Amino acid sequence: MARETAGRIVVLLGAPGVGKGTQGVRLGRELGWAHVSTGDLLRAALRDGTSLGLEARKYMDAGELVPDGVMIDLVREHLVGLEPGRGVVFDGFPRTVQQAEALDRALAREGRAVGAVALLDAPEAVLFKRISGRRSSPGGRVYNVYFDPPRRDGFCDDTGEPLIHRADDQPETVRTRLAVYQEVTAPLIGHYDAPGLLVRVDAEGDIDQVYAALQAAVAEAHPAADAAPGS
């Protein structure tokens, strides 16, 4: 199958804190594609208090992966709700080889396939500070105690409300998340490199620099992404 007809599917791969969420939202918006973040889907389920959310919570808070069967069903169900043939940017899925194989099978049933996999790469020390330093206001403004601190430690500049430090952003949990990435998710690099789908993106710079590198990498690996925005 030619890449142009592969179905406009891009996977963002990379360790926690590397910026997959920020970059994925932007890439999806600019291409007019769906952005599918399994972390966001799980957090929404948690907020809605569904049984899936409650089941997922214990894994998320501990920095562990939610079991493959749960994740594969969640993604399959979500894909059914998308407009047929619409481009998709996957963010945080797949995270295991078993998930990658299930995704390949689900896409193949629609005559589609992953077109490019962008590996966002930054040193672990940077990732650790990006996540463990993250604090957010109840209204959603995000700070970082290392890179973008509030004026008064622990409180939002805009509203004065106390800032929240997510359970899965606590240093111990961040260590677990990074270790799980190395052990279980990093093998996907070989899985996607072998068929020539992998493109590497330096993700150490600022948001705009990383986005420019990502856009260039995706356009090169997947010309249809460049040629058919919004389709």
Where does this chain bind ligand AMP (CB under 6 A)?
A: 16, 38-39, 42, 59-60, 63-66, 71, 92-93, 95, 99, 168, 177
- Compute the least distance from the CB of residue 2 to ligand AMP, in Å: 28
Angle CA(204)–CA(209)–CA(211) in degrees, nearest 5?
A: 100
- Compute the least distance from the CB of residue 56 to ligand AMP, in Å: 7
Choosing from 76, 166, 175, 200, the catalytic residue is 166
- Compute the least distance from the CB of residue 4 to ligand AMP, in Å: 27
Distances (CA, A) of 120 to 18, 101, 151: 6, 21, 31
Choosing from 3, 8, 20, 130, the catalytic residue is 20
User: Does the active-site annotation cover 152?
Assistant: no
Q: Which is nearer to ligand AMP, 59 or 155 (CB)?
A: 59
Q: Which is nearer to ligand AMP, 169 or 224 (CB)?
A: 169
Q: Which is nearer to ligand AMP, 52 or 197 (CB)?
A: 52
User: Does the active-site annotation cover 166?
Assistant: yes
Q: Which is nearer to ligand AMP, 127 or 224 (CB)?
A: 127
- Of all residues in this chain, which one has the CB nearest to ligand AMP in the complex? 39
User: Does the active-site annotation cover 177?
Assistant: yes
Q: Which residues are tagged catalytic?
A: 20, 95, 134, 166, 177
